[in-house]
Amino acid sequence: MLTSRVRTGVPVDLLHRTATLLLITASVYLSIHSETQAHSADQPRLPNFVIIFADDLGYADLNCFGSSYPDTPNLDQMAREGRRFTSFCVAQAVCSASRTALLTGCYPNRVGILGALGPGNTHGIHADEMTIAEVLKPQGYATAIYGKWHLGHHPQFLPTRHGFDEYFGLPYSNDMWPRHPTAKFPDLPLIEGERTVELNPDQTKLTTSYTERALKFIEANRDRPFFLYVPHAMPHVPLFVSDKYAGKSSRGIYGDVIREIDWSVGQILQTLKRLKIDENTLVIFTSDNGPWLSYGPHGGSALPLREGKGTAWEGGVREPCVMRWSGKIPPGTECAELAATIDLLPTLAGLAGADLPTRKLDGLDIRSLILGESPVKSPHEAYWYYWGDALHAIRSGPWKLHFPHPYVHVDVPGQAGLPGKLVQLRTPLALYNLEQDLSEANDVSAQHPEIVAHLTALAELARDDLGDSLQKRIGKNIRPAGQLTSATGANSK
């Protein structure tokens, strides 16, 4: 008997067997796929991280931190929805050192980057140091930075060589350009990736450009974990603001600039909410150091803190900090415990389940402080206040001990965007209780010799570890910065 055939010439029984096989295969695939989906659903998605870093912002420049000017409605709303940190410190009160500490979790002395690197510097972050981006990459994170880098401007030091997928911004401070009133600088490069795309860019567009890039990055990576770093160029002098915010503040151009930064924060928060990923995103806002008081109305305010940028007084190193994570951080709360930028790398690594660098870190995990979980207590027994390679002060709990050291004080503030008159002062050994004397105005060392002795002993640990040029001590555990291995700078367009 001949086998029945259809017009294709294929036997009917073969078609039946093939169809049956396809149905079985599809059933098995759907079963496996359903199990895989169920397994994936059981695995919580890793959190996203956004760090917004202002430049030279004062402790009292936000309304939610004491400013009388209504220029920060979005940051104030962020504080109502999140947590204010009122004792949040940077590692040093100057650009490169502060940013190095944030990204590496180390005191800048440990990794050899001090001060503010400029166009003439031939060193930067060492290839063996790991940034937050490099720590998160093995966990599948997309990473980007839009803004000021300042850890070295030669290609080997740029963000794309240190864990960031994308980079767009200035390699150092916005005043390091030909129009600087007292110094001679080359053309200021705007870099994308590792390529200079513009020289001496229109700085009124920077805040908007960084924000627009940040929003596109969030959109593009909405379905995967990401780390977004937005270190604004402002409000570092010279001040620039877009037309949409020029003249909108009652405190002049400085207030205009703050309003635009606040707008940027609002855009990022609104985008996270619109994409329904705000409950999986920790957003951190703070600054690299205190206000540049020398510039008078073009600088901010650190009141009631003492001094500002360039000093180890609280006005130089204590920054306004707001963190928001919907559903995780208790809204409308405050943390007065000591926390610092060096703590962010180990904390984000812990939240992402990432391995820490094998090299020594100084930061500690502050998840309990962020989430308001017990124990809500700073993990730092002591915190060191260095200026350059000199140990200026130490803090433990509420106590802060200043060792004798020189510092620069603004005698006459500048006007019209020009620096004022500076004088060098010197502080003697002095002890302050920051819980009772936030302004560091009343030396109580004579009343508490036992506290002075205890902090002095703790300071010896810092000097042994990180050194102290005031005592001509070299630290045993410091590492060198990276050195330029090629004579070429960033590629031109």
> Is residue 89 annotated as a catalytic residue, yes or no?
no
Three-state secondary structure of the chain: CCCCECCCCCEHHHHHHHHHHHHHHHHHHHHHHHHHHHHHHHCCCCCEEEEEEECCCCCCCCHHHCCCCCCCHHHHHHHHHCEEEEEEECCCCCHHHHHHHHHHCCCHHHHCCCCCCCCCCCEECCCCCCCHHHHHHHHCCEEEEECCCCCCCCHHHCHHHCCCCEEEECCCCCCCCCCCCCCCCCCCEEEECCEEEEECCCHHHHHHHHHHHHHHHHHHCCCCCEEEEEECCCCCCCCCCCCCCCCCCCCHHHHHHHHHHHHHHHHHHHHHHHCCCHHHEEEEEEECCCCCHHHHHHCCCCCCCCCCCCCCCHHHHEEEEEEECCCCCCCCEEECCCEEHHHHHHHHHHHHCCCCCCCCCCCCCCHHHHHCCCCCCCCCCCEEEEECCEEEEEEECCEEEECCEEEEEEEECCCCCCCCEEEEEEECCEEEECCCCCCCCCCCCCCCHHHHHHHHHHHHHHHHHHEEHHHCEECCCCCCCEECCCCCCCECC
Question: Alpha-carbon distance 109 to 231, whole Å?
Answer: 21
> Is residue 405 annotated as a catalytic residue, yes or no?
no
Catalytic residue of the set 150, 154, 380, 409: 150
Question: Alpha-carbon distance 447 to 488, whole Å?
Answer: 58
* The residue to which tokens 């002075």 are assigned: 452
Catalytic residue of the set 89, 95, 106, 335: 95
Catalytic residue annotation = 95, 150
